[in-house]
Structure 1
C-alpha cells in the first residue's frame, strides 16, 4: 500500500486549521487509498483466543505501522497540541475521522490505554520534558503504554495499592505487583500508581510514576483465561529504580492524578484523543452480531429471536446517543466530569446483555460448536467471559458508586479506613509486613 499524502502534506495542513468538512474529505481519501477494509464483524467477540502469539505480535507491528502512516499523513494525534506532534484540531475533527475510518483497519490496540488514559494523563500532568519525550513517540506509534493500577490484594480499590516506592537519593525503588494488564507482554511503557507514604490515609499517600516495561526487575507473567486467551498479565516489580524525573505530579498527591486518570479511562467512548470506529462497542459485541448468529443458527425468522435482535439494536442506539450526550455535557460543563461513569456503566451492562442474547440465540450450538458454525461458534465462550466488560476499565460497581455519590450527591458509602493511617488498616496475608 502507498503511504498516501505523506509527511509534507500533513505538515502543510497543520499550518492552518482545516474545516471539519475539508478534514473529513482528506481523511476519507487517504483511508480508502491506504487501509484494508475489514470483513463484516471482524474481531467480534469477548477476548477470543483466535490468534497465535506470532499472529498477535504481527498484528501489533501492523498497528504501529498504521499509526506511523497516520502521523506521516497528518492524521494522528488529531486533538493533541502541534508542539507534541499532534494536529491541534478539535473533537469535531476527531469524530469526523472516527466516522470515516469505520469499516477499515485501525490501530485499535494502541488506543486504550495508550492514548487514553495514559497519553491524556501525561498531557495534563506531565512535565514539559516528559511530554516532549513521550507524546511524539506515542503519536507516531513508537511507544505503547499500559496502566499499572489493579493489584492482587485490592481489586477495584486502586487506592489500596500495596506496591511501594521508597525514595533513595534522586531515585525511587519500587516493589510490588500489578495485575489484569491487557497486552503488557507486548508493550513498552507504563503509568504506575505506588504507595509513597504509609502514615496517612490511603488516598493521601500515593504517587504516580512512569517506567519502561522491558527492564530488569519487571517480570511479566501472562494469565490464561478459560477460553485460552492470554492477554491479561500480572507484573512482579522487584527493586525497580525509577528516577524522580519520571514522577508524575507531586509526591503523595497521586490520587489527584488518579482521579483524572480514571476519568479519562471512563471517557474512552468520548475521548478526543482516541481513534475508534463510529458506533464502537465496549467488548466488541453489538446488535449486528445478533443478526449473524441468528442467521447461522437458522433462527432468523423466529419472532422471539427478532425481538432479541430489536432489543440489541435499541441498546446500540441508546449507547451511541448517551455517549454523545455525556460528551457534550462534560465539554460544555453542564455535566460534571464524573458523569463519564454513566457511560461506563451503560456500556458494560449493554455489552453483557448483548453477549447473553447471542448465547440464547445460538441454542445448543452455544454449548458445542465447530469452526464451520460461522457466527455461532464461540458464543458459549463469549457468554462465560461476558462479565469482563463489567470489570475491565473500572468495574460497573465502582461506576455505580461514582454516579450515586459524585453525580447525584447521595451520602458517601461508609469507609472505616477513611481517616486512618494506611499502615494501621487491617489487611490479609498479602498485605505489607
Structure 2
C-alpha cells in the first residue's frame, strides 16, 4: 500500500477508540497482579484476546498485509497503544513472539514460513519462542554446541537449551544449532524453526527466586526436523541470529514497532509504582521521597526520548542497527535504579506490606534480570564501543579457528 492509500492515523485512532470501548474489558486500576508462579490461565486469556484483536481488525498493525497484518505505519501502532492503555491486552505475546521472532522470520524466512507462521501468530493460533542460550554457553551465542546432523532430506537435532522465555506456552521456536564443526564458530551454524511439542523434546520449567516459572530448559534427543524448517541458509545461521539479536535488543530497550499495548505482560515482575508505594508506606509527603519519585520520572522521560531518537535515526539511515544497544543498556540502568528507589521508599513495608509495596522485595531479588535479558549489559557496552564508537575489538582466541579445534571444558 502506498502512503496515499493508508487510513490516516487520526481516523484509525478514533475507530480503535470506539472498538475498544465496545469489545475489550477495561483494566481495574486497583487490581494487584497475582503472585509469581504458573501463569497458564493467563496464557489462555492472552490467546483469546489476540483472536479478538484479529477479528476486530487491530492485530499485526505494522506487519505486511500479505502475511496477515494491516500494513500500517508505526504511527498507527503508537496511536492504538495509546488508546488501548486502559484495556486488557495480550501483552504476553509482545516478547518474544511479536517483537523478536516474527520480525526475524519476516526478514530472513522463506515465503512459506512467512505466510504460515507470521499470519498464524497474528491470528492468535501460534505463539513463538526462542531456543538460543545453552547450559554451558554463557553469553557466547556463536559457541553453541547443540547440533543438527543431516540425514537425507531431514535433520536430526541433539543437545540442550535453557532460559527460554515462556517456551512451555509456545508452539514453535527459533533454534540455533551447529551444522558444520570444521568451520569457524560463526560460519557453521544454522537456524531452525522447531515445532516444540513433538517426540524427542523434553521441557522443564525453571523456578526462580521470586516463585515465577516462566523460564524453561529443553533437551533434544534425536528430534527429526524437515528440510523446510531451515530459516535462511544452511550454515548461514549467524546472519539470522544477528538479525534476531537486533530485534531482541530493540524489544528489551522498548523500541519495537511490533508490540501492541504497553509493557511485556510479564506478570512475574510488575513494574513498581513509586507513587503508590510511597502512599502505602505513608511517606508521600517527605521531600526526599518526592525527589526520588521525580528522579525515576525523569529517567523514564529520558528513556522515551532516547527510544524515539534511536528509532528515527535507524529508520532514516542515520544510525546503524547496533544503535539498538543504546536503548537496551539505558532500559537496564533505568530498571536497576527504579528497583533501588522502590526499596529506599518502601523501607520495611517492602517486605511486610501488601499490594504494590509488598512486591518491592521480590522485584529487588529479580533486579539483575535487567542486566541479562536481550544480551548482558556487558555485551551491550561492547557493541556500543566497537560498532558505534569504532573502538578496537577485544581479543578472541577462537576467531577464525575451526570449531572442532576450539578448546572447551568437559
TM-score, with structure 1 as normaliser? 0.89
Instruction: Check 1:411–1:284 CA distance in 2 against 1; reply closer, same or farther (3 A cut).
Output: farther
**Which of 318, 332, 337 is matched with 1:334 structurally?**
318
Following the alignment from structure 1 to structure 2, what is the Cα–Cα distance between the partners of residues 412 and 140? 43
CA distance in 2, matches of 1:182, 1:33: 33
Query: 2:4 aligned with 1:18, yes or no?
Result: no
- On the 8 A contact 1:149/1:178 being kept in 2, the answer is yes
**What is the CA distance between 1:61 and its match in structure 2?**
1.3
Note the alpha carbon deviations across 1:314-361, whole angstroms, 9 max, x for none.
111011111111111110111111100000000011111101110111
1:159 counterpart (132, 137, 142): 142
Task: List runs of 5+ in structure 1 lacking aligned partners.
Answer: 1-14
Please report how far the alpha carbon of residue 276 of structure 1 lies from its aligned counterpart in structure 2 after TM superposition. Answer: 2.8
Select 1:50's aligned residue among 35, 47, 63.
Answer: 35
Residue in 2 aligned with 1:171?
154
Q: CA deviation at 1:92?
A: 1.1
CA–CA distance in 1 between the matches of 2:196 and 2:5?
Answer: 38
In the TM superposition, what is the alpha-carbon distance from 1:128 to its structure 2 partner? 1.0
2: CA distance, partners of 1:229 / 1:249: 34
Is the CA contact (8 Å cut-off) linking 1:199 and 1:421 kept in structure 2? yes
Normalised TM-score (structure 2): 0.94
Q: 8 Å contact 2:36–2:210 — kept in the other structure?
A: no
CA separation in 1, counterparts of 2:405 and 2:30? 51
Whether the 8 Å CA contact 1:299–1:305 is kept in 2: the answer is yes
1:85 to 68, 81, 98: 68
Task: Quote the residue 1:6 is aligned against.
Answer: none
Deviations 1:193-228 (A, max 9, x none): 001111121111111000111111111111111121
| TM-superposition CA deviations, 1:31-77 (whole Å, max 9, x none) | 12222222338677xxxx71563xx2221111111111111111111
SS in 1 for 2:165: coil
Tell me how many residue pairs correspond in the alignment. Answer: 404
Partners of 1:357 and 1:385 in 2: how far apart?
14
2:91 maps to which residue?
108
Match of 1:33 among 22, 37, 62: 22
Q: For residues 279 and 193 of structure 1, do their structure 2 counterparts lie closer, same or farther at Cα, with a shift above 3 Å needed?
A: closer
Q: What's the CA shift for 1:374? A: 2.6
